Structure 1
Amino acid sequence: MAPRDDSLMKNFLRGKTMWGIGIVTNDKKKPTDEKAANYTTLLDSWENDNSKIINWINNSVIQSIGTQLAKYDTTKEDWDHLARLYTQSNFAKQYQLEFNIRALQQNNLSVQEFYAAMSDLWHQLALTEPDVLKAFKPYIDRREDQRLVHFLMALLSDFEGLR
């Protein structure tokens, strides 16, 4: 999932008829009135829906983010955490991602594993870009050229001929 562009997950949940039920937005709260005649049924239904959505979210994010989400019990908490994590476009977040990209080296990773790790960082960095840049072709072309340079520079020296 690309949490900054939450429309993908919203569309998925709509397709499963789970978006409009209010679990993610917390409009449908966990039942708390244990004296209500249908409390058990309502609680089971809420927990079932909540668990489904949490599982779908966890299956759509990388493992390190899934680990961060494990501390939350509700879909709303997961959703809010992802929003905080991915809507940050502050300098510190960009700095850390750029630092991680430049520090990443192939070392003992296969080319495919290394590319996947680099792609994940690129994707996270792209989430911090203003929307106007995401639609500006000259910027996108330049960004892709820079990514290729970073990738080639971080490959093992065995690939010197390719560089």
Structure 2
Amino acid sequence: MKKFLCGKNMWGYATGTKVKPLVPQAENFDLLVDAWETDNSKVITWINNSITQSIGMQLAKYDTTKDVWNHLERLYTQSNFAKQYQLEYDICSLQHNNLSIQDFYVVMSDLWDQLANWLLLNLKS
């Protein structure tokens, strides 16, 4: 999502660097507010379109992309090793069962990628 938003020049809405104009200092204040609200709504819609409905329902109470992003960050960032343990457990317990070899490979690769990304993120912090 970060790469997508950066590509659309909208990442500032998630980080909070693109803030809603508050003080009417310019002639075009109304246009600036309208543009900010439109872009903010676009980003929230893009985020909602990329998550499950149950998580989307949790986000409905937020009005800004930054608040949505902060909620998602709290939801998916774990400072302890529970996430690492869960990924390692899922990798060890994954079985072929009724999956095709290609589907099994995709699932296993996804788990390994998640674990690698988690380790990289936690090595940086």
Structure with max Cα Rg = 1
1:35 positional shift: 4.7
Query: Following superposition, which runs of at least 4 residues in structure 1 exceed 4 angstroms of deviation?
Result: none
Q: Which amino acid aligns with 1:13?
A: L
1:60 positional shift: 0.6
Secondary structure in 2 aligned to 1:72?
Answer: coil
Match of 1:66 in 2: 56
The 1:88–1:140 alpha-carbon spacing in structure 2 relative to 1, beyond 3 Å, is closer
How many equivalent residue pairs?
97
| Larger helix proportion of the pair | 2
**TM-score, structure 1 normalization:** 0.51
For 1:66-117, what per-residue CA distance to the aligned partner results, in whole angstroms no more than 9, with x for missing partners? 00000000000000000001113558xx6xxxxxxxxxxxxxxxxxxxxxxx
Q: Which amino acid aligns with 1:10?
A: K
Match of 1:142 in 2: 92
Instruction: Check if 1:14 corresponds to 2:6.
Output: yes
For 1:8-43, what per-residue CA distance to the aligned partner results, in whole angstroms no more than 9, with x for missing partners? x01111222322xx2111112111113532211110
Q: Distance in 1 between matches of 2:21 and 2:38?
A: 13
Aligned Cα root-mean-square deviation (Å): 2.7
Match of 2:17 in 1: 27
**TM-score, structure 2 normalization:** 0.65
- 1:89/1:129 contact within 8 Å kept: no
Q: Which amino acid aligns with 1:129?
A: Q
Runs of 5+ unmatched residues, structure 1: 1-8, 95-127, 149-163
Match of 1:121 in 2: none
Aligned-residue sequence identity (percent) comes to 56
Superposition pairs for residues 72-151 of structure 1, below 5 Å? 72-88=62-78, 128-129=83-84, 141-145=91-95
Runs of 5+ unmatched residues, structure 2: 98-125
Instruction: Check if 1:56 corresponds to 2:46.
Output: yes
